Amino acid sequence: MTPTDLLPAPPPRAAARRALVAGSAGNLVEWYEFGVYGCFATVIAAHFFTPPHAATGSAAGAGPVTAGAEALVATYASFALAFFFRPVGALLFGRLGDRLGRRPTLVLVIGLMTLATTLIGLLPTRADLGAAAPWLLTLLRALQGLSAGGEFGGAVALMTEYAPPGRRGLYGAWQSFTVALGLLSGAGTAAALATLLPAQALYAWGWRIPFLLALPLGLAVLWLRTALEEPPGAPHEPPHGPLPAKPPPHEPPPHKPLSAPRPGRGVPARAIVLGIGRIMGWSAAGYTFLVVLPSYLQATLGASFREALLATALANLGFAATILPAGLLSDRLGRRPVMLCGALGVAVLALPLLRLLQSPEASAPARAGAVLAAGALVGLLAGPGPAMLAEMFPRRVRCTALGLSYALANAVFSGCAGLVVTALVAATGDTAVPAYYAAGACALSSLALLTLRPTDHLEPLR
């Protein structure tokens, strides 16, 4: 009997496809909500973080764009707080996923996310509820952060463990692809409402519609996930492959090192730090170009609400277009060359692309090309990223460890992106801050990506 005989047999293709759909659909709902929050940040700032008399004045003027910089910073502080709850969720739900199984954990997190998002759409504003309104909004954001922290680790573990041989990069890329679809859906919904509704109606009540739409979306994902089976080789289920023969009575059992950790224990801290370094550029550039862009264009460059939403939709289109090809390419060439191309591309091109966007002489097609290119570079990082993280950790701690790496990177470099960029632009007057932020994070991430081995993508998951 060879060591490969002890590995679980590849899962049936139908089961793998079900896992792919159920695992990635939850990410779509999650990132749909985050995209909506980013698109309506100025509206939320006026309703929840601006004193009622100032919000009334804003409503009488040009609409949501006139929310003050201080209220916008407070809105992004609430946005960042949700991200800092994600590591807690990754640790809590990751341990559940590693001990109890992927399916029950994924059912739990999508239920919590759907509930919190729907309640945001029903939440009274500061004008109606007073000072309690921003605190309730922040509480709901924290609940979203907890559930989102558990979503990534469980979903990526599920999809990569179900992936056929040589397809982990592609299967993991679907997680990132549905992130792009979620952001596009959020931006598209916001743009459609901005087109169909008068500005006053959008500001008064129309902003609630995208949050309420999360309820039917979440229920659909919940139904998909309740029908899932655990991946092959789950610790609480027998593997699909041949069972190892028992040793003869005269032979002692194989020796187990005393240091071998129990299932769910021994999360490798050094590997988590390395994982954070490898994806920090993805986190920083992704949120700078894909989520923070609408309010930055409005508050800093004076763009209209519709123009900002169109630019965001184009950036997300570029992002979506490269994710699956990047994941597939990483299955053939390796994770390192594809992700390095994206990180170095952002480090070199972020400032020129932003300058082009800022230039009054630039044509509309040139500006569109700039935001498309920015999104495409992030897609080169996001495509191979999930599989790369899954390959770093053994199964007994995979949900916890990869979820924690992703959550901590996002808490520091994504959740703070809007807060840092908005505050630094206001403090320094330098409108190139977003480019410096994304380029600096990607330059540092490139150093960590150099530690990837060329054959990591060819080896079976541990």
Is 2 a member of any domain? no
Q: Is the pLDDT of residue 59 over 50?
A: no
Is 7 a member of any domain? no
Give the pLDDT score at 68: 54
Quickly state the pLDDT bin for 230 (edges 50, 70, 90): confident
* Number of residues assigned to the chain: 462
Average pLDDT rounded to a whole number, residues 418-440: 84
Place of tokens 């990180």: 343
Give the pLDDT score at 357: 80
Give the pLDDT score at 318: 92
Is 254 a member of any domain? no
CB 39 within 8 A of CB 190: yes
What lies within 8 Å, CB to CB, of 295 at 6+ separation is 38, 41, 42, 72, 308, 418, 422
Q: Is the pLDDT of residue 240 over 70?
A: no
Query: What is the CATH number for 155?
Result: 1.20.1250.20
Give the pLDDT score at 204: 87
SS (H, E, C) 268-302: CHHHHHHHHHHHHHHHHHHHHHHCCHHHHHHHCCC
Joined tokens for residue 290 = 């894909």
Give the pLDDT score at 191: 81
Is 243 a member of any domain? no
Q: Is the pLDDT of residue 445 over 60?
A: yes
Q: What total of structural domains would you count in the chain?
A: 1
Give the pLDDT score at 70: 60
| DSSP type of residue 452 | S
Is 122 a member of any domain? yes
For 165, the domain range is 14-234+268-458
pLDDT, tens digit, 9 for 90 and up, residues 103-126: 888 889 899 988 988 998 999 988
pLDDT, tens digit, 9 for 90 and up, residues 149-199: 888 888 898 888 888 888 999 999 998 898 788 877 887 888 888 889 888
- What percent of the chain has a predicted confidence (pLDDT) above 70? 81
pLDDT, tens digit, 9 for 90 and up, residues 388-409: 999 999 988 898 999 899 989 9
Is 63 a member of any domain? yes
Using alpha carbons only, what angle is made at residue 405 by residues 400 and 406, rounded to the nearest 5 degrees? Answer: 100
Is 112 a member of any domain? yes
Give the pLDDT score at 51: 65
Is 93 a member of any domain? yes
Pick from 43, 49, 69, 84: nearest CA to 415 = 84
Integer Cα distance of 284 and 301 in angstroms: 21
